[in-house]
Structure 1
């Protein structure tokens, strides 16, 4: 796996899992799009980032922000998964 892809995944994971910062909706939309539309290692990294976010105990606190500000319907569906899981 190329180093720049790993750095991007690490950056995305750190930023999305940092609950002391405002949620970057565009970054989340990009990760969700990568999960659905990329293949191979990019898709696996996106899935790992989204799984780590879903498993975070405070993930439910992001649901309202995602539903209000995301323009991506797949990201909004992901938000509902955060809420019900």
Structure 2
């Protein structure tokens, strides 16, 4: 198993990929911030989470919640560009 997948398997951000749970907006905002501001493994994990979230067939169903409750404009932009428009 690649190192990134091992990190993601143990990373709290993995819960963003569980669509049976309520979306944790603060966690999503933190992952987006990590993608833009961190370096190394944290940034790779953030990118992997966001890529897997984008690839999820139900990702578009979370866009309205993200737009309403996120405090991060980058998170809102990503949700429109990656989760909604990619379909």
Q: TM-score normalised to the size of structure 2?
A: 0.84
Distance in 2 (CA, whole Å) between partners of 1:58 and 1:33 is 23
Distance in 2 (CA, whole Å) between partners of 1:56 and 1:40 is 25
Distance in 2 (CA, whole Å) between partners of 1:60 and 1:26 is 18
Tell me: CA distance 1:47–1:20, structure 2 relative to 1, closer, same or farther (3 Å).
Answer: same
**Which position in structure 2 is the counterpart of 1:38?**
38
What are structure 1's unaligned runs of at least 5 residues? Answer: 1-5
Tell me: CA distance 1:7–1:58, structure 2 relative to 1, closer, same or farther (3 Å).
Answer: closer
What are structure 2's unaligned runs of at least 5 residues? Answer: 1-6
**How far does residue 74 in structure 1 lie from its aligned partner after superposition?**
0.3
**Which position in structure 2 is the counterpart of 1:56?**
56
Check whether the contact 1:9–1:49 (CA below 8 A) recurs between aligned residues.
Answer: no
Three-state SS of the structure 2 residue aligned to 1:19 is coil
**Which position in structure 2 is the counterpart of 1:3?**
none
RMSD between aligned residues? 1.5
Tell me: CA distance 1:56–1:33, structure 2 relative to 1, closer, same or farther (3 Å).
Answer: same
Tell me: CA distance 1:35–1:8, structure 2 relative to 1, closer, same or farther (3 Å).
Answer: farther
